Amino acid sequence: MEPLTVEAVLKFVHEQRAIRGADKVMPKWSDAQIVCAVATAICNNTFGWITTGGKISGFAFGFPRPQEKVLDITQVLCVSPRDLAHLLLMLKQVYPGWSIRGFRKKKSGDKSLCDYSIQDIDRMIHLSQVVSLQKTS
């Protein structure tokens, strides 16, 4: 596996945009904004990624709020629910006892700020694993 670089993350975003559409994958983000945000997240130790078969298959980044024990997630991009479950497990290990907060697009199409407690994170991990098992069956 080649080392993960900011260029590899950008290439992954472009691949996912080609597959899913630019309006679905990090819409309104320019390449420069993506590179700056990823570089900042790496410096803050708030960038996580998953690889499958030696190739990046998901990432998440944000910024920490240590005084609140909250990790504010700016962006998540995963190929599959299984990758999301792995990312959540990794974030839970890196930030034990922290909650996760971020904007989530609901089925209605509106985005709202969601705060996920430790129990919510465990539930999301479980549901992601169940969905990934259903898709492989």
81 contact partners, CB below 8 Å, separation of at least 6: 128, 129, 131, 132, 135
Question: Where on the phi/psi map is residue 47: left (φ > 0), alpha (ψ -120 to 50), or beta?
Answer: beta
- Mean pLDDT across 56-66: 93
List the domain boundaries for the chain: 6-136
- What is the per-residue pLDDT for 11? 95
Distance CA 33, CA 30 (A): 5
Q: What's the topology of domain 6-136?
A: Aminopeptidase (3.40.630)
For 78-126, how does the pLDDT look when each residue is reduced to its tens digit (9 = 90+)?
Answer: 998 888 888 888 888 888 889 888 877 655 566 767 776 777 777 777 7
Portion of the chain with pLDDT greater than 90, in percent: 45
CA dist 116 and 134 (Å) reads 24
Contact 58, 79 (CB under 8 A): yes
pLDDT over threshold 60, residue 129: yes
Nearest C-alpha neighbor of 62 from the set 53, 70, 71: 71
Within 13 Å of residue 103, how many CA atoms lie on the same side as its CB? Answer: 8
Most confident of 2-11, 15-24, 100-109: 15-24
Q: Is the pLDDT of residue 36 over 80?
A: yes
- Mean pLDDT, rounded, for 24-37: 94
